Structure 1
Amino acid sequence: MFESIVDPINAILWGEGQVLIYLLLFAGFWFSYKLGVIQLRHFKHMFEVMKKSTQSDKSGISSFQALCTGLSARVGTGNLAGVAMAISLGGSGAVFWMWVIAILGMATGFAESVLGQLYKVRDDHKEFRGGPAYYIRSGLGKPWLAILFSLCLFLGYGISFSAMQANTIAEALNNTFEIPTQYAGLVIAILAGSIVIGGLRAIARFAELIVPFMGLAFILVAVVVTAMNIELLPAVFMDIFASAFGLTEAGAGALGAAMKNGIQRGLYSNEAGAGSVPHAAAGASPVPNHPVAQGYVQMLGVFLDTIVLCTCTAMVILLSDINISGEMEGISMTQNAMTSHFGSGGNYFVAAVITLFAFTSVVANYAYAESNLHMFKLDNKIGRSIYTCLYLLMVYWGASASLKQVWSMADVALGLMTLVNVYAIVLLTPTIVNLTKDYQKQRDNNREPVFSKDQVTVQGKTEEGVW
């Protein structure tokens, strides 16, 4: 019954129909064009915005915390298991198409995060909340579509994504230490519950402490692997480009597989266009105090996630001597590759990294779905308690579920969210462009940008007292 419902939807979205692949490529090209290739022209400014990123106030988290929270959700199984899956099914050429979707996705991520920040609201605790449901309701004036997105988000981030992250942690621990998956699931659920009960601020503080440490540790190991195999690097890059364009012996069939799996897993990893990261962007009190500042912050997140961290995983796999079978493989492939470089110690390292990567995603996923409780007037003790129990039950179930079931359900949820979100942000393009021009005009006049809603034409209305 599960497969009869999920598989046909995935076939339309990701399979033969490839609706989402075309849609996300369109969105990436559209916003790159409308914003003047902002991801390349203002590449340096992404880092400049982070100089004052640790400042916050009682209404919102800091920009650095928002970046780390966004990376908490982005940096997970997509970076380790997802890259392995893309390479196992699409060959080394899948890596190239992950890069392409990341560069295009930087513009899409910028656009949706600007909107998340502009249309944010204050919840019952006077803290900032926002995301696609809020800019669909306030910007487009379509409350029914906002509710549809929220329901898709609960299915995705509230249920299936956290289950999938727990599945990857349990698989890695079972492969390495032979820990039964049901026990791993119980421990993951207990630890996650102890953090998420503190809400967005507790999750942001956790992300701020863990994400930089785990990211730098993984990059350092990938650099060591590359240095150990430096003589193989030119051949690996040649193979990536040849396979990406179907120039290898496998030909056109390999080209299609590389594109499909590279784009699909690239999107899953960086989440650009899916409508998830705007929730983290909306929770911030940005410096400078302008919605566009969060656009740059989250655009940097897409770059760090896919161009940096996914490439690290790809190099670890492609520089190893393991056999790429063509069958679907997940975290075990990354573990085998690391073992070929470092012996049994590599296996332990991947188990530790994937546990941290995926666990931070489990925690951040909670925050995204919890942000939408406000849409249904459920941001109270009863509403949060019911949602938290459901979330933790799914984390426990996911640890013992099959790999195919969990990934299939996650693909459906991600696909439906993306359809609604891309539709919304394309309709809101005039607002995104006007805000970006206002921000840049103030910078050109050597002023720190400050948003004034009386000076910029935006669609719909923003909440009173927020700006």
Structure 2
Amino acid sequence: MLEVINDFLSGKVLIVLIVGLGSYFTIRSRFVQFRHFFHMFAVFRDSLKSSAGQLSSFQALMLSLAGRVGAGNIAGVGIAVTLGGPGAVFWMWVTALVGMSSSFFECSLGQLYKRCDAEGQFRGGPSYYIQHGLQKRWLGMIMAFLLLITFGFAFNGLQAHAVTHSLNNAFGFDTTYTGIGLAVLLGLVFIGGIKRIAKVADLLVPVKTLAYIGVTLYVIVLQFDQVPAMLTTIVKSAFGLDQAFGGLIGSAIVMGVKRGVFANEAGLGSAPNVAAVASVEHPVAQGVIQAFSVFLDTFLICTCTALLILLSGFYTPGFEGDGIALTQNSLAAVVGDWGRVFISVALSLFVFTSILYNYYLGENNLRFMVGENRKVLIGYRTLVLVLIFWGAIENLGTVFAFADITMTLLAFVNLIALFLLFKVGMRILRDYDDQRSAGIKVPVFDSSKFPDLDLDRKAWPANPSAPVAAPGKASAGVAAAQR
């Protein structure tokens, strides 16, 4: 029954929602992800600046990449290629292109409607912009519950299962002991709260990402003469034009979209939870940088994995096996047995940081539901650690099917909320664009311009410090902004 429901939701509903509404957001915003593409790099540079007592935009980016760059980039891509052929990679790209727009708006809104908690830290996400933007707390509660179940519980167990079984295959480690070790290490980070999670992500995310990209690019460079032909195969297979994969066009679309969403999470409502914790001058700045993280996740890391598999010569149409084994064997076919070890180590780092991200998503939405209740929070941490250990030693196939269903429901609720709040998103985007057009290098958000919105004035004060215009571009618009 779960499989039938899952096939309908993820095979039909999810495609229409992600691609359809993502395309709508893209067109209505005049292709915001393309217009601001090169600006993303400037915002990324500025994100390195920190604000006293708050998380920086760079730390929020590392947190989001901790979640986006996970098992889906290794195992998920392998599954997509296995079941959908090379054409699935093309549809992952399409999902990411439109997903950049969805991620831009959901993270901008997450910033806009964030709240300052009793400890002086920012919190936000879909539940917050649904409650304060749509004035529908009941729907925000549903969203919070779905995020808690999907990320806080189900995905953590699945991630633990992936890493412990990968280590067992590569090193022969007993899953019971690795499960205990994983739970202990994670517990030590959990008790430090969002600041400790951010510090660990700051350290591990760049290391795991650069190491993985470096090794996969090395393999791609070794066979660079085959890359143009393989890219042609990917595009032709996506439309059923390659004879070897002609019968997989339907599977290519479904698996490409499904695994693409699982990998980059654009539109699911997960990234706004961590995007909201950053201290930024304007909500749109965080939307820009989170769109950039979707690009990094799919176009760089997922593409590296896909080309690693397809160029290795190990993959053949009709391959039977799991995605992790396919990626491990593909790398080993080119560089030797150390390739299997490297994938296991990389997967361990990917999963560790992803679980930290998933845990925070669950905690953030639990706080939205019950408030600052310390006993409930301790109970949540304990249950998460138990599920991590359980997932490490048990096959959670049923849980995975259930998580796919709740993930699709998340996308449904979140994307409908984004559609209803789209005009608000466009208003703050125009405010940001107008300031940039006026020569202001770092646009500043003035909440007094939006008196009709239910905003936290501690997070977004009225009449903030005056923005600075670029030299030689002073104008009446700048003068007005400075007044």
1:28 alignment counterpart: 22
Offset from partner CA, 1:123-166 (integer Å, 9 cap, x none): 22121000000000000001110000011011111101111111
Q: State the match for 1:340 in structure 2.
A: 333
Aligned equivalents of 1:379 and 1:272: distance in 2? 29
The CA distance in 2 between the partners of 1:241 and 1:439, in whole Å, is: 36
What is the match of residue 227 of structure 2?
233
Alignment correspondent of 1:187: 181
Deviation at 1:178, TM superposition (A): 1.4
Q: 1:308 aligns with which of 300, 315, 318?
A: 300
From the CA coordinates, give the structure whose radius of gyration is larger. Answer: 2
Q: 1:428 aligns with which of 421, 429, 433?
A: 421
Paired-residue identity, %? 42
Greater shift, 47-56 or 154-163, is seen at 47-56
Task: Give the direction of change, closer, same or farther, for the CA distance of 1:146–1:321 in structure 2 (3 Å limit).
Answer: same
**The residue matched to 1:350 in structure 2 has which SS?**
helix
Letter of the structure 1 residue corresponding to residue 419 of structure 2: V
Mean Cα deviation higher: 330-339 or 392-401: 392-401
1:255 paired with 2:249, answer yes
Q: How does 1:144-155 map to 2 (within 5 A)?
A: 144-155=138-149
Query: 2:235 & 2:45 partners in 1: Cα distance?
Result: 36
Contact 1:292–1:435 (8 Å) recurs in 2: yes
- The residue correspondences of 1:267-346 to structure 2 (distance < 5 A) are 267-286=261-280, 289-324=281-316, 325-327=318-320, 329-346=322-339
How far has the Cα of 1:41 moved from its partner?
A: 1.4
Is 1:66 equivalent to 2:60 in the alignment? Answer: yes
Greater mean alpha carbon deviation, residues 344-353 or residues 252-261: 252-261
Residues 58 and 381 (structure 1), Cα distance of their counterparts in 2 relative to 1, 3 Å cut: farther
Measure, in 1, the Cα distance between the counterparts of 2:211 and 2:52: 32
2:5 is matched with which residue: 1, 5, 9?
9
- Cα deviation, 1:283-324, whole Å, max 9, x if unaligned, reads 0001xx110010011011100001100011011101112133
* Letter matched to residue 302 of structure 1: V
Q: TM-score, normalised by structure 1?
A: 0.95
Residue of structure 1 in register with 2:374 after alignment = 381
Say if 1:43 and 1:127 are closer, same or farther in 2 by CA, change over 3 A: same
Distance 2:233 2:400 in 1: 28
> The residue matched to 1:14 in structure 2 has which SS?
helix
Distance (Å, rounded) in 2 between the aligned partners of 1:27 and 1:179: 45
Which region of structure 1 is more displaced relative to structure 2, 348-357 or 222-231? 222-231
Rounded to whole Å, the distance in 1 between the matches of 2:146 and 2:321 is 26
Q: Distance in 1 between matches of 2:328 and 2:249?
A: 26
Cα distance in 1 between the residues matched to 2:36 and 2:307: 28
User: Conserved in 2, the CA contact under 8 Å of 1:164 and 1:410?
Assistant: no
Secondary structure of 2:38's partner?
A: helix
DSSP 3-state at the match of 2:211 = helix
Deviation (angstroms), 1:393: 1.1
Query: Does the residue aligned with 1:464 lie in a helix, a strand or coil?
Result: coil
8 Å contact kept, 1:398–1:406: no
Counterpart amino acid of residue 205 in structure 1: K
Indicate whether 1:437 and 2:410 are aligned: no
Deviation at 1:106, TM superposition (A): 0.4
Provide the aligned length of Structure 1 versus Structure 2.
Answer: 458
Q: Which residue identity is paired with 2:91?
A: W
For 1:31, the aligned partner's letter is F
Cα distance between partner residues in 1 of 2:323 and 2:83: 10
Going from structure 1 to structure 2, the CA distance change for 1:251 and 1:223 (only over 3 Å counts) comes to closer
Could you say which residue in structure 2 is the equivalent of 1:370? 363
Aligned to 1:417: 410
| Offset of residue 237 of structure 1 | 1.2
Q: Aligned partner of 1:149: which letter? A: M
- 1:350 is matched with which residue? 343
Alignment of 1:28-107 (within 5 A): 28-58=22-52, 60-107=54-101
Q: Which amino acid aligns with 1:332?
A: A
Deviations 1:401-426 (Å, cap 9, x if unpaired)?
A: 32633432321221111111001011
Distance in 1 (CA, whole Å) between partners of 2:373 and 2:52 is 19
Letter in 1 for 2:254: K
What secondary structure is seen at the aligned counterpart in 2 of 1:449?
Answer: coil
Report if the CA contact (8 A) 1:112-1:278 is conserved: yes
| Aligned-partner SS, 1:336 | helix
Alpha-carbon distance in structure 1 between the residues aligned to 2:451 and 2:252: 42
Answer yes or no: is the 8 Å Cα contact 1:133–1:150 preserved in 2. yes
Aligned equivalents of 1:60 and 1:112: distance in 2?
21
Q: Which runs of 5+ in 2 are unaligned?
A: 461-483
Contact in 1 for aligned 2:85/2:237 (Cα 8 Å): yes
> 2:323 & 2:222 partners in 1: Cα distance?
24
Point out the more displaced range, 149-158 or 412-421: 412-421
> Please, which runs of 5 or more residues in structure 1 have no aligned partner?
none
Quote the offset at 1:376 in angstroms. 2.3
* Counterpart-to-counterpart distance in 2, 1:172 and 1:428: 42
Aligned counterparts of 2:14 and 2:433: Cα–Cα separation in 1: 32
CA offsets 1:412-445 (integer angstroms, 9 cap, x no match) = 2211111110010110000000000000101111
Contact 2:144–2:365 (8 Å) recurs in 1 = yes
Q: CA deviation at 1:251?
A: 6.2
- C-alpha separation in 1, matches of 2:111 and 2:284: 8
Secondary structure of 1:454's aligned partner? helix
* TM-score normalised by the chain length of structure 2: 0.92
Counterpart code for 2:297: D
- Name which of 392, 397, 404 aligns with 2:397: 404
Residues 201-233 of structure 1 deviation map (CA, whole Å, 9 limit, x = unaligned): 111111111111111111111111011112221
